[in-house]
Amino acid sequence: MRTITIANQKGGCGKTTVAINLAASIAREARRVLLVDLDPQGHCALGMAVPEEQIDLSILDCLLGRIEGQPIELSRITWQIAPNLDLAPAKASLAGLEPRLGDRQDAETLLRDLLEADGKRYDYCVVDCPPHLGMLMKNGLRAANEVVIPVDTGYFSLHGLTRQLTTIEQISERNGVKPVMRILPNQYDVRTKLAREILAELRNRFKGLVYETIVNFNTKLKEGASFGQPITEFAPTSMGARDFEKLARELIAAEPPRVPTPEMLQHMERLARDAERLLATTTTLIDSRRIPTAIVPPVDVPAIPERTVEVATARVAPATAAKPMTPVQPAVPRQPTVRPVQTSIPLTTAPLTLGLPAEPLMPMVVPDVPIKTSMPQPASTHEEIERKIEAIYGVRQESDVVIFRSHRPEAGEIQIAGDFNDWMPHTTPMRRLPDGDFEARLKLPRGRYRYRLVVDGRWSHDLFNPEIETNEYGELNSVVEIKQ
């Protein structure tokens, strides 16, 4: 089981929203997921429509059970939210755990021990931590294989991120186990200059730690939480759902290879034996039903003294010198008599050459079938080739329509952001064509426009448009000028 802890000491960065929607998105990918709420506010239960007054047992009872020697299994406290998603909820009483732990040596490992004992039936565990450093957050960090730090692209985000990374480093050095740390840009609003600057700074300062996926600002995420539904159920086609789907797949792509269980190995061996038995049966049936495909009519070939034979195209030696060559006649159907073909021509490994007297050529029978010929096509001129290339990729203007076309066969989605749509890429998606290319057709008034492409959430300039300029962030913008 992979344990992913969502943690950040800075409040307001969307930890609970990320935890709920990430867990739901991973569950949509056919993985069994457990969401553990370690925040005494209990917002995970609230965001999944689990009423607190109906929660009899919570994560507090499981943790206290391990201290008191009366363990309570996770299955007794979990709520099924979706077919592959369970919730281990928290209540306000969880805040009283830290005073009861005191100076216990195992105070920081209670959650890890609980998951190792009862979490074997899950593929993933997502842990939502409180927004302050304490024993609950330390439990979440100690249990984690990976730590996801959501960072809202605001003014104080970089300071809180640096402090969180330092805390994780200190805990890891003390315990000797260091989880994988990743940074998730969250609540990103491309329309603001500050958000774009902070995102560029995150990628420059923390190279390799920042996810390729960016969770954009989307009101559907907040509306879904207010209705007690993850984004996968509330608005499965929204931009927020697409962002978390990409994040879940990016996490799943880093899964270690799975080791087959003994049950799987036995099943594979049984399938292999069945396949071999079926193949043997099929081969027997084919052999028993095999019918001769050709019948050789009886031919008497007289013995010919050994001589050098020269093979020539369309030239054969007659069977006997006494019989003249007869024209080829259509075959008359008859019941053939099959018997072995006898010949006295010796087989030698030396190349055969012919030294027979020249004979008239045998008439060749050509079937009366019309032969299709293709007329040579005139070569394209240089101007025609250039027009074809421009028509395939790049940006061009046809009348009052501007056509953007890009060749990115590996991309799942491409959007356009520019001066003409207030730099909001989700408003201008490119359409995938049958040949795998992407195209967008826009009606733009006369003027000069800067734009960029968003390929699977990653911004870049248009590789097929040579008109570029550097923007204020040190990156490249593509430029198109519309002339009416």
More confident residue, 342 or 221: 221
How much of the chain, in percent, has pLDDT values that exceed 70?
76
What distances in angstroms separate CA 472 from CA 216, 258, 477, one per listed residue? 21, 46, 10
Q: Are 161 and 148 in contact (CB under 8 A)?
A: no
pLDDT surpassing 60 at residue 370:
no
Mean pLDDT of all residues in 256-262: 68
Nearest in space to 17 (alpha carbons), one of 237, 167, 220, 255:
220
Rounded Cα distance, 350 and 215, in Å? 77
- All structural domains of the chain, each given as residue ranges with its CATH number in brackets, are 2-252 (3.40.50.300), 387-482 (2.60.40.10)
pLDDT surpassing 90 at residue 33:
yes
Least confident residue range of 125-139, 275-289, 303-317: 303-317
pLDDT surpassing 70 at residue 313:
no
Q: Are 4 and 115 in contact (CB under 8 A)?
A: no
Rounded Cα distance, 261 and 277, in Å? 25
**Token pair 């979490």: residue:** 119
Q: Are 468 and 426 in contact (CB under 8 A)?
A: no
C-alpha 392: how far from chain center: 26
More confident residue, 1 or 377: 1
What distances in angstroms separate CA 5 from CA 90, 142, 147, 471, one per listed residue? 16, 9, 5, 36
pLDDT surpassing 90 at residue 89:
yes
pLDDT surpassing 60 at residue 348:
no
Rounded Cα distance, 26 and 6, in Å? 14
222: CB partners within 8 A, 6+ apart: 17
Mean pLDDT of all residues in 200-211: 87
Mean pLDDT of all residues in 208-236: 90
Q: Are 146 and 180 in contact (CB under 8 A)?
A: yes
pLDDT surpassing 60 at residue 359:
no
pLDDT surpassing 50 at residue 332:
no
pLDDT of residue 385: 53
pLDDT of residue 66: 86
Q: Up-side HSE of residue 199: CA atoms within 13 Å toward CB?
A: 24
**Token pair 């395939």: residue:** 392
Q: At what angle do helices 239-252 and 15-28 cross, to 10 degrees?
A: 70
Model confidence pLDDT, tens digit, residues 60-77: 999 988 888 888 889 899
SS (H, E, C) the chain: CEEEEECCCCCCCCHHHHHHHHHHHHHHCCCCEEEEECCCCCHHHHHCCCCHHHCCCCHHHHHHHHHHCCCCCHHHCCEEEECCEEEECCCHHHHHHHHHHCCCCCHHHHHHHHHHHHCCCCCEEEEECCCCCCHHHHHHHHHCCEEEEEEECCCCHHHHHHHHHHHHHHHHHHHCCCCEEEEEEECECCCCHHHHHHHHHHHHHCCCCECCCCCECCHHHHHHHHCCCCHHHHCCCCHHHHHHHHHHHHHHCCCCCCCCCHHHHHHHHHHHHHHHHHHHHHHHHHHHCCCCCCCCCCCECCCCCCCCEECECCECCCCCCCCCCCCCCCCCCCCCCCCCCECCCCCCCCCCEECCCCCCCCCCCCCCCCCCCCCCCCCCCHHHHHHHHHHHCEEEEECCEEEEEECCCCCCCEEEEEHHHCCCHHHCECEECCCCCEEEEECCCCEEEEEEEEECCEEECCCCCCCEEECCCCCEEEEEEECC
Model confidence pLDDT, tens digit, residues 186-196: 988 888 888 88
Nearest in space to 479 (alpha carbons), one of 441, 448, 454:
448
pLDDT of residue 36: 94
pLDDT of residue 389: 52
What distances in angstroms separate CA 289 from CA 68, 196, 270, 275, 280, one per listed residue? 76, 73, 29, 21, 15
Rounded Cα distance, 254 and 257, in Å? 9
User: What is the band of 260 on the pLDDT scale with cuts at 50, 70, 90?
Assistant: low
pLDDT surpassing 80 at residue 5:
yes
User: What is the band of 368 on the pLDDT scale with cuts at 50, 70, 90?
Assistant: very low
C-alpha 266: how far from chain center: 30
Q: Are 421 and 427 in contact (CB under 8 A)?
A: yes
The chain-wide mean pLDDT, for the chain, equals 78
**Residues present in the chain in total:** 484
Mean pLDDT of all residues in 242-249: 92
Quick one: CA torsion of 409, 413, 419, 424, rounded to 10 degrees? Answer: -170
What distances in angstroms separate CA 356 from CA 304, 344, 346, 359, one per listed residue? 12, 17, 16, 8
Structure tokens at 218: 């989307």
pLDDT surpassing 60 at residue 299:
no
Mean pLDDT of all residues in 180-184: 90
By DSSP bridging, strand 85-88 and strand 33-37 are parallel
Rounded Cα distance, 108 and 113, in Å? 10
pLDDT surpassing 70 at residue 130:
yes
More confident residue, 473 or 185: 185
Structure tokens at 65: 């059970």
pLDDT of residue 201: 86
What distances in angstroms separate CA 312 from CA 218, 352, 362, one per listed residue? 81, 11, 12
Least confident residue range of 297-301, 352-356, 427-431: 352-356
pLDDT surpassing 70 at residue 307:
no
pLDDT of residue 3: 94
pLDDT of residue 392: 67
More confident residue, 59 or 391: 59
